[in-house]
């Protein structure tokens, strides 16, 4: 996840206690009876240095005893694996939510347990579900699309069920209103950034801060580095390039950071209404993540 990796670089450049990570919960799901928050956990595990670098989700050195045992049963979620140690996080979260704790409180407890100093905040404590209208099947949940179908299916539209009635979690609007840099991380604009903006008040708060908002393009040289962002953008009628990204983000952010591979497109980004910063954006490791974070902070 580009956003988590960017944050792991940002903490080398900015005091982590001054960073608020507002995280997508549109791909949260109830699976195996548990409340699973993939993006929140990826951010927390990454900042804790515990993420599986190979998989990009879940914990390093994980075992799969429970999932292997689950194969005995006719579970309708056999396609969704959770590691044994990762399961503890979902058990704790599910229990706390059942006790009535808001997701933002539970998320802070989980981050604290991993000694993460960044404030990891779900964009909302309410249930907002990213629903994918896909060919042949109709509307399915994000995990259905992303994991079960391995995002190998044409998407006709995306909506965020429950968004209209949702409210930003405590701290979200304050963080956006506080002077400082707002970064739109290099994530999927449709299904990672989209749900954030769908929560009433968030888009307006970002727009109001536009001068100090910096977006990092998730598209490099006409493709996403990982995941379905490229295909999704195309299917939904957007240009799969930094220019397409600029057209999406121009109302929200003054600056777009693009990779050196896209230097030639800087004028077109500017023409789309964004200042364009060209710098290496591909984060192969922590050093590159920190370099990118430094460039983003300098750009603002």
Q: What gap in Å lies between CA 300 and CA 297, rounded to an integer?
A: 5
**97 binding a copy of itself? (CB under 8 A):** yes
- Helices (H), ranges, the chain: 2-10, 38-47, 65-70, 84-98, 103-113, 142-143, 172-177, 194-198, 202-208, 229-235, 242-249, 266-271, 286-299
- Of residues 76 and 284, the one with the C-beta less far from a copy of itself: 76
Rounded to whole angstroms, the Cα distance separating 74 from 126 reads: 31
Q: Which of residues 16-75 bind a copy of itself (CB under 8 A)?
A: 30-35, 63, 65-70, 72-75
Q: Which of 25, 44, 46, 89 binds a copy of itself (CB under 8 A)?
A: 89
Could you tell me how many residues make up the chain?
A: 300
Interaction of residue 105 with a copy of itself, rule CB under 8 A: no
- Tell me: does residue 114 bind a copy of itself (CB under 8 A): yes
Cβ 175 to a copy of itself shortest distance, Å: 25
Residue 256, φ and ψ in degrees, nearest 5? -120, 125
Residue pair 123/170 in contact (Cβ under 8 Å)? The answer is: no
Of the ranges 4-12, 94-102, 159-167, 171-179, which one interacts with a copy of itself (CB under 8 A)? Answer: 94-102
Question: Over the Cα atoms of the chain, what is R_g?
Answer: 19
Of the two residues 115 and 152, which places its CB atom closer to a copy of itself in the complex? 115
- Nearer to a copy of itself by Cβ, of 46 and 188: the residue is 46
Q: Are 138 and 144 in contact (CB under 8 A)?
A: no
Residue 177 within binding range of a copy of itself, rule CB under 8 A: no
Does position 264 interact with a copy of itself (CB under 8 A)? The reply is no
Residues that bind a copy of itself (CB under 8 A): 30-35, 63, 65-70, 72-77, 84-95, 97-99, 109-110, 113-114
């Amino acid at each position: 996840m580009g956003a988590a990796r960017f944050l792991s670089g940002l903490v080398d450049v900015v005091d982590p206690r001054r960073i608020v990570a507002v995280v997508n919960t549109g791909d949260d799901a109830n699976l195996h009876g548990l409340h699973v928050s993939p993006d929140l956990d990826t951010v927390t595990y990454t900042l804790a240095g515990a993420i599986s670098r190979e998989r990009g989700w879940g914990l390093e050195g994980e075992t799969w005893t429970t999932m292997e045992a689950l194969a005995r049963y006719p579970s309708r979620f056999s396609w969704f694996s959770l590691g044994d140690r990762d399961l503890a996080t979902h058990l704790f979260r599910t229990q706390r939510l059942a006790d009535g704790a808001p997701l933002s409180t539970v998320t802070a407890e989980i981050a604290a347990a991993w000694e993460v100093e960044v404030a990891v905040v779900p964009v909302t404590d309410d249930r907002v579900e990213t629903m994918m209208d896909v060919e042949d099947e109709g509307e399915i949940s994000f995990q259905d699309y992303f994991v079960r179908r391995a995002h190998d299916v044409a998407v006709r539209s995306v909506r965020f069920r429950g968004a209209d009635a949702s409210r930003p979690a405590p701290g979200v609007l304050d963080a956006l209103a506080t002077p400082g840099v707002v970064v739109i991380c290099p994530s999927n604009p449709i299904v990672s950034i989209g749900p954030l903006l769908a929560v009433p008040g968030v888009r307006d708060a970002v727009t109001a801060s536009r001068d100090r908002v910096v977006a990092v393009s998730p598209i490099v040289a006409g493709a996403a580095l990982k995941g379905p962002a490229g295909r999704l953008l195309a299917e939904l009628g957007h240009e799969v390039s930094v220019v397409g990204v600029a057209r999406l983000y121009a109302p929200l952010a003054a600056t777009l950071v693009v990779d050196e591979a896209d230097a030639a497109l800087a004028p077109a980004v500017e023409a789309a209404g964004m200042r364009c910063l060209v710098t290496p954006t591909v984060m192969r490791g922590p050093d590159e993540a920190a370099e990118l974070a430094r460039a983003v902070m300098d750009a603002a």
